[in-house]
Structure 1
Amino acid sequence: LSCLRPKSTVAWSWLDRIMERGTADSSAVPDDTSSSHVVEVSLREVLCAGAVCWAAWRYFRYITCLRTYGRDMTAMAGKADLVIGRDDEIDRVIRILCRRTKNCAALVGAAGVGKTAIAEGLAQRIVAGKVPSKLAGARVIVLNLTAMVSGTTYVGMFEERMTDFLKKVAAARGKVTLFVDEMHMLLGAGAATGTHMDAANMLKPALARGHIRCLGATTDDECSKYIEKDPALERRFQIVHVEEPSTHSTISILHGLKPRYEMHYGLEILDGTIDAVVHLADRYIAGRRFPDKAIDLIDEAYTRIELGGENTVVAPDNVAQVVMDVTFIISTVCACHVVLCLN
């Protein structure tokens, strides 16, 4: 976050001169230098050093505040899994964030469809430089509401923290995009008894003026239950619907994640196993969404093989055994379905 770092090399050179001459005595001053000139140069050095120290202090407070109540998603973009099949949603989010006003997007979809992965995909694009100039060099900061509320024993402490945090984000002048996962938690967060000043009401003015770029994520049920009941908050966000990926898209996602899992567990996974994972999850695991349930199933199969220590390859039979343990389906039924999937 170098937006507040002093960019003048002159100021830094004056500070270096003071540090180098800090141990020098008065004899180091030339005899032909007038006393008024010495006083003038010393004053300039002091003023420049003070400006540098003030800018450094502001930068330190800026970084400390963001690290205390947020997490830099762009700094961890290289460690996150690749985002596959969400290019349209990411492009839509980028177009919304580049708007002059109402530059806030809300990812709305069922749990497990990959809303947070879209935010990670945005961070990966920013790091790769595949974004418009308005988002170039920006940071995606995840707001930690738990840390913001924690320890607020006195009235006004939460408001002070939230106001200071929003000022730091606004001071970045568009170079910080705020990501609020489970954005419905903004309603009522930090509100004292008998007051309506919560995190959502404190965030509304900054969002209305376009001073802060914000990306939120919530489920369909929580959006209709909380967000839609607050029209003032709802109109500040542009809704981006995140649909559940198809079985074909889920297979592509698992193929993209395959190298990461093989490197982590040291086990090979067959291509037929990935097809079996998706079809078995679609057939027997109800109440959950792709790609979350397929990723959990393949992860469980990996751990089963790793703990057994007998095989070095994850086969479709291992996935069928996991499905049997999770859903209590008879193993012969799963085995027959695996054969049908492979054929």
Structure 2
Amino acid sequence: MVNKFLVTDDALEELIFQYCRDYTTLERKGRFDRISGRDRELDETILILLQKGRKNAVLLAPAGVGKTALVVGLAQKIVAGDVPEYLKNARVLEIDLSSMASGTSGPADFQSRFIPLCRGMAERYHAPEYPKYIIFIDEIHMIMPTCEGSSYRGLSEVMKPYLTVGDLHVLGATTHDEYRIYVKEDPALDRRFQQVPLEVPTPEETYHILQLLRNSYETHHKLKIPDDGLRLIIKLTEEFLPRRNQPDKSIIIMDGACAWHVMKNGVGGDLSLDSIRKMVSIECKIHPDALE
């Protein structure tokens, strides 16, 4: 059969294999923890993806709040079939720009990899026998021409024609400030995206997130994490790590405290509160006694 596309199926799959992280495939392999607590933002994102016109979303939040986790949550809903028919069997693909740039000698060499990937997905957009491709670009401000020092600057100009005709679904992620400084300055690109702000979780919301993640970390470290341990993690990270954001800082402390406990006491039993204080003290570079 004659291939009706400029980028053949085999060539597109090879590009995806080399330069993308396939979230939907990884979810089917059970590689992700369950994502919860972002139902509103997920619904907003799906609503945008279903539209005919502005079908691209940009997730806006400070570092550590869970922008990538929301993309994982989208992949989980797709794999579970918990999405409208239009998105059934869609593929969520993060473009690994650093991998794509590796070994290139300049912008033209880089774009010779990037353009066929975009073209291959775009030209299949209206072919019902192919899944919808949802491209995720983390730190999307780095592809803007005005982002000095970025190895990927100017890629937005390559994508713009596909976004203009509506043949690509793109999910971007960046901070509010970086979006304002770099993306919003380009009205042609800005109007192709709808913003999905993610709020920093409250301590109670963070507690709920840790409860959902707890089983995965208990299985990995082979010990139990008590409720009072989760509460202490949140209390100490709120007080002593104010410049970082939930839930990331609490997840890091939970994982590190479990590792410290196992290193000093072996597996089994409950995660000790002293191990939590020790891990926070390491992160803060203060004595554990100051955390009592």
TM-score, scaled to structure 1: 0.76
Checking the alignment, whether the CA contact within 8 Å between 1:158 and 1:190 is kept in structure 2 is no
Pick aligned residue for 2:120 from 136, 160, 168: 168
Residue of structure 1 in register with 2:34 after alignment: 82
Aligned residues: 280
Structure (1 or 2) with the larger CA radius of gyration:
1
Checking the alignment, whether the CA contact within 8 Å between 1:109 and 1:115 is kept in structure 2 is yes
Alpha-carbon shift at residue 319 of structure 1 (Å): 1.1
Residue of structure 1 in register with 2:158 after alignment: 202
Pick aligned residue for 2:73 from 121, 132, 142: 121
After superposition, the Cα gap between the structure-2 partners of 1:102 and 1:220, relative to the gap in structure 1 and judged at 3 Å, is: same
**TM-superposition CA deviations, 1:72-121 (whole Å, max 9, x none):** 11001121111110010001000000100110000000000000000000
Residue of structure 2 in register with 1:13 after alignment: none
After superposition, the Cα gap between the structure-2 partners of 1:162 and 1:182, relative to the gap in structure 1 and judged at 3 Å, is: same
After superposition, the Cα gap between the structure-2 partners of 1:207 and 1:316, relative to the gap in structure 1 and judged at 3 Å, is: same
**TM-superposition CA deviations, 1:21-71 (whole Å, max 9, x none):** xxxxxxxxxxxxxxxxxxxxxxxxxxxxxx27999x932112112112212
After superposition, the Cα gap between the structure-2 partners of 1:70 and 1:328, relative to the gap in structure 1 and judged at 3 Å, is: closer
SS in structure 2 of the partner of residue 140 of structure 1: strand
Checking the alignment, whether the CA contact within 8 Å between 2:143 and 2:153 is kept in structure 1 is no
Residue of structure 2 in register with 1:70 after alignment: 20
Pick aligned residue for 1:147 from 89, 93, 99: 99
Residue of structure 2 in register with 1:105 after alignment: 57
Q: What residue ranges of structure 2 are gaps of 5+ in the alignment?
A: 126-130
Map 1:213-292 → 2, pairs under 5 A: 213-292=169-248
Counterpart CA distance in 1 for 2:32 and 2:195 is 25
Residue of structure 2 in register with 1:158 after alignment: 110
- Equivalent pairs: percent with the same residue? 34
Checking the alignment, whether the CA contact within 8 Å between 1:101 and 1:208 is kept in structure 2 is no
Counterpart CA distance in 2 for 1:190 and 1:182 is 11
After superposition, the Cα gap between the structure-2 partners of 1:225 and 1:52, relative to the gap in structure 1 and judged at 3 Å, is: closer
Counterpart CA distance in 1 for 2:291 and 2:89 is 50
Checking the alignment, whether the CA contact within 8 Å between 2:141 and 2:147 is kept in structure 1 is no
Counterpart CA distance in 2 for 1:146 and 1:112 is 21
Residue of structure 2 in register with 1:303 after alignment: 259
Checking the alignment, whether the CA contact within 8 Å between 2:35 and 2:70 is kept in structure 1 is yes
Counterpart CA distance in 2 for 1:105 and 1:65 is 23
Residue 268 of structure 2 is aligned to residue 318 of structure 1 = no
Pick aligned residue for 1:134 from 86, 109, 123: 86
Checking the alignment, whether the CA contact within 8 Å between 1:70 and 1:144 is kept in structure 2 is yes
CA RMSD across the alignment = 2.4
* Moved >6 Å (runs of 4+): 52-55
Residue of structure 1 in register with 2:128 after alignment: none
For CA contacts below 8 A with separation 6 or more, give which structure has more relative contact order: 2
Alpha-carbon shift at residue 189 of structure 1 (Å): 10
The structure with more helix, counted as a fraction of residues: 1
Q: What residue ranges of structure 1 are gaps of 5+ in the alignment?
A: 1-50, 336-343
The code of the aligned residue for 2:75 comes to A
Map 1:32-43 → 2, pairs under 5 A: none
